[in-house]
C-alpha cells in the first residue's frame, strides 16, 4: 500500500492533475465526505487528509509514504527523515513582512528599534531578521496574524501573501518579501528504499507532468 498525505483545499485541488498524470484518480471529494482516508482507482494507493502542518510529521514517521505541503511548513518543521525530490510549483505565494498603514518600518529598522513581530513562521522570521541584524521579539500566533498590528499586539507580522487582498482589506502594507513559496513533494526515506518501484513511478510521473507545464 502507498499512502499519500494531502491537506484539503488548494493543495488537494492543485494535486489532482498531477495524480491524474500518474494514472491515479481519487474516488471521493474531500469537500463532500467526512472520510479521512480516501480510496483511489488504484487499490494499492490511498490518500490521507491531514492538516498542512501535519504533513511532514506523517511522512517523517511513516504514517504516510509521501506527502505534499508548502515550503513554509517544511522549513518550520525541519527536514529530518524527508526526501524532497520535487518543487511542484503549485500553491504559490510568498512570505512577507507587513505593517499597519502609516507605520514607518524603514525608520524603525534604521533606528535599530526592537521590533515586535507576530507570526506563525517563527523559524523563517528569526532567520530573516537575524541575517538583517534587526532585533525582534517574536510573538507566536496560530491564526489571523493580520489582527496583531491593528490591536497593538505587534509592530509587524510575517505571513503568507498571495494576491495581497487580505493585507489591503485590513489596512496593512507589505514592506519586505522574505521568500517565494510553493508546494513540495516529500517522501519518507525508508519507504523510498522499501517501496522503491511504486514510489519512483509516482515521482517520475509528477516530474514528467511538471516538465510539460514548464
Residue 160 or 175: which CB sits closer to ligand AMP?
A: 160
- 9/78 with CB nearer ligand AMP: 9
CB 158 within 8 A of CB 96: yes
Assigned C-alpha cell, 120: 506563525
When the beta carbons of 2 and 50 are compared against ligand AMP, the nearer one is 50
User: Per DSSP, what are the bridge partners of residue 76?
Assistant: none
Give min distance, CB of 42 to ligand AMP, in A: 28
Q: Does 165 bind ligand AMP (CB under 6 A)?
A: yes
CA 149, chain centre distance (Å): 23
Q: How many residues bind ligand AMP (CB under 6 A)?
A: 11
Restricting to residues 29-88, name those near ligand AMP by CB under 6 A.
70
85 vs 164 by CB, closer to ligand AMP: 164
Residue 163 is a binding residue for ligand AMP (CB under 6 A): yes
Cell numbers given for 197: 518501484
Give the position of cell 513511478: 201
Sequence length of the chain is 214
CB under 6 A: which stretch of 22-30, 99-107, 155-163, 186-194 binds ligand AMP? 155-163
Binding of ligand AMP by 161 (CB under 6 A): yes
Q: Looking at beta carbons only, is 122 or 192 nearer to ligand AMP?
A: 122
C-alpha cell at 79: 527536514
Q: Is 97 helix (H, G, I), strand (E, B) or coil?
A: strand
Shortest Cβ 174–ligand AMP spacing (Å): 9
End-to-end CA distance of the chain: 31
Q: Where are the extended beta strands (E) located within the chain?
A: 2-6, 37-39, 45-49, 66-70, 82-87, 93-100, 115-119, 136-140, 156-161, 172-181, 183-188
Q: Which residues would be at the binding site for ligand AMP (CB under 6 A)?
A: 70, 91, 93, 159-166
Amino acid at each position: 500500500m502507498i499512502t499519500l498525505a494531502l491537506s484539503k483545499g488548494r493543495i488537494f485541488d492543485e494535486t489532482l492533475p498531477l495524480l491524474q498524470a500518474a494514472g491515479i484518480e481519487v474516488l471521493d471529494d474531500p469537500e463532500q465526505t467526512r472520510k479521512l482516508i480516501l480510496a483511489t482507482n488504484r487499490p494499492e494507493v490511498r490518500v490521507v487528509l491531514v492538516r498542512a502542518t501535519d504533513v511532514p510529521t506523517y511522512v517523517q514517521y511513516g504514517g504516510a509514504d509521501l506527502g505534499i505541503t508548502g515550503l513554509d511548513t517544511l522549513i518550520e518543521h525541519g527536514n529530518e527523515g524527508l526526501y524532497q525530490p520535487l518543487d511542484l510549483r503549485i500553491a504559490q505565494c510568498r512570505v512577507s513582512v507587513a505593517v499597519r498603514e502609516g507605520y514607518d518600518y524603514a525608520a524603525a529598522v534604521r533606528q535599530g528599534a526592537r521590533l515586535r513581530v507576530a507570526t506563525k513562521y517563527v523559524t523563517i522570521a528569526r532567520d530573516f531578521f537575524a541575517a538583517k541584524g534587526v532585533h525582534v521579539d517574536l510573538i507566536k500566533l496560530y491564526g489571523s496574524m493580520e489582527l496583531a498590528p491593528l490591536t497593538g499586539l505587534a509592530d509587524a507580522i510575517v505571513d503568507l501573501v498571495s494576491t495581497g487582498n487580505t493585507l489591503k482589506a485590513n489596512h496593512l502594507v507589505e514592506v519586505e518579501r522574505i521568500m517565494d513559496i510553493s508546494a513540495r513533494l516529500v517522501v519518507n526515506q525508508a519507504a523510498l528504499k522499501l517501496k522503491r518501484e511504486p514510489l519512483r513511478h509516482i515521482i517520475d510521473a509528477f516530474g514528467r507532468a511538471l516538465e510539460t507545464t514548464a
